[in-house]
Amino acid sequence: MLWVIGITALATSLVLIVLQNFKTSERVLERKIEHRYAVFDPQFRREMSVLLGPAIVHGNQVTALQNGNEIFPAMLQAIRSAQTSITFETFIYWSGEIGEKFSQALSERARAGVAVSVTIDWVGSTKMEQSLLDSMKAAGVQLHQYRPLRWYNFGRMNNRTHRKLLVVDGRIGFTGGVGIADQWTGDGGDPEHWRDTHFRIEGPVVAQLQAAFNDNWIKTTGQLLNGPSYFPALKKEGEMAAHVFVASPSGGSESMHLMYLLTIAAADATIDLAASYFVPDRLLIEALVAARDRGVRVRILLPGPHIDELTVKIASKAEWGALLQAGAEIYVYQPTMMHTKLLVIDAEFVSVGSTNFDIRSIRLNDEASLNIYNSDFATQMTAVFEADLLAAEPYSLARWESRPLRQKFAEKVLLPIKSQL
């Protein structure tokens, strides 16, 4: 009898622990945000500055880098030029050719006396050989894996850092969608090489990237990285206004949700969204439909036949009907996995970073996003978006309505766990 009670108690405890992973922030928006102003209205910037965290700062230069052929050389060049500090946080870091190159570059700078601090997500580094970790640590890299699985944190196993942050000497920053793995190398032109965009950043907003890195570094090590090696005086480098804000379940998880809802509500003419994982909640769907109702052109670019998460593909498609019925244009990318995360509003506002347009990114992951308020840059990113559309196929309402019954059934099965995908 006692063993039955014991097994029951253990099973109950395990269920309760697993259910902890389904908890979301207490601060959850419940009502649609109304269209009160446009993105070019000063009121939009005022509210974005105070509601999302760090204020918008001016004098920045952001350069868009396309695919591994542009992204990795720029990141490695910056690392190899480091004189005082390197801070680097990523979700995916796998063994392979590009993983070895980053390891060697980080290790060489550490041996040269540069303070190198690296945070890698424990789940995202499961395909990373221990020897690669050991070699960096032996070289003097201060390397920590974020939330390795332990009995005492099993209830938070689903809270991963999905941030992609690199800051060199406190002056040059990078963020975007790319992970450190060989599928991101190349030009994104075939199924073995993913399509992605990353961004090189200079100017005062780099200090906010550094603060974003410090957020999880403190959680992981209890140590604050500060002083002029990390936060030097930053001069004007360009004409772009921008800010970086973070989100995590432990604080500010609704910031991403709020950002998406505020920007969609402010759209007057166009919304261009490239989303590698598209599993929006009810409010985001309603916001996009409301934008269509007031005449906004909504174009959504999503992965097509090549996607690394089949469950996401199935769950995502369940949400397309309402959007297609409202007149939104959905396109599915054909050549390879489309991993870009990009939102452009009215050729005036751009949001990039690690955040996906799904519930997991909004409420479970630790994320960081860079918002840029600059019409020239927005026009440039619209051109990038439209170039990707040339390699995509339009997806019609008729096609959605005629999808197989087994697919509709799978969508229903995944509905209860949509937030975990």
Which sequence positions are flagged as catalytic?
162, 164, 169, 339, 341, 346
3-state secondary structure 243-286: EEEEEECCEECHHHHHHHHHHHHHCCCEEEEEECCEECCHHHHH
What would the DSSP string read from start to end of 82-115? -SSEEEEEES-B-SSHHHHHHHHHHHHHHHTT-E
* 240-247 and 367-373 strand pairing: antiparallel
What would the DSSP string read from start to end of 173-227? EEEES--BSGGG-S-S-BTTB-B-EEEEEESTTHHHHHHHHHHHHHHHHS----S
Q: Which amino acid is at 310?
A: L
Could you tell me if 201 and 377 are in contact, meaning their C-beta atoms sit under 8 angstroms apart? no
Q: Using CA of residue 61, residue 227, residue 255, residue 274, what is the dihedral sign?
A: positive
Separation between Cα atoms, residue 397 and residue 323, nearest integer Å: 9
* 142-146 and 57-66 strand pairing: unpaired
**Helix count and strand count (H, E) for the chain:** 14, 17
Could you tell me if 48 and 54 are in contact, meaning their C-beta atoms sit under 8 angstroms apart? no
Closest C-alpha to 55, from 349, 376, 371:
371
Separation between Cα atoms, residue 107 and residue 290, nearest integer Å: 51
Q: What angle do CA 152, 155, 158 make, to 5 degrees?
A: 120
Where would I find the beta strands (DSSP E) of 265-339? 270-275, 278-279, 297-303, 329-333
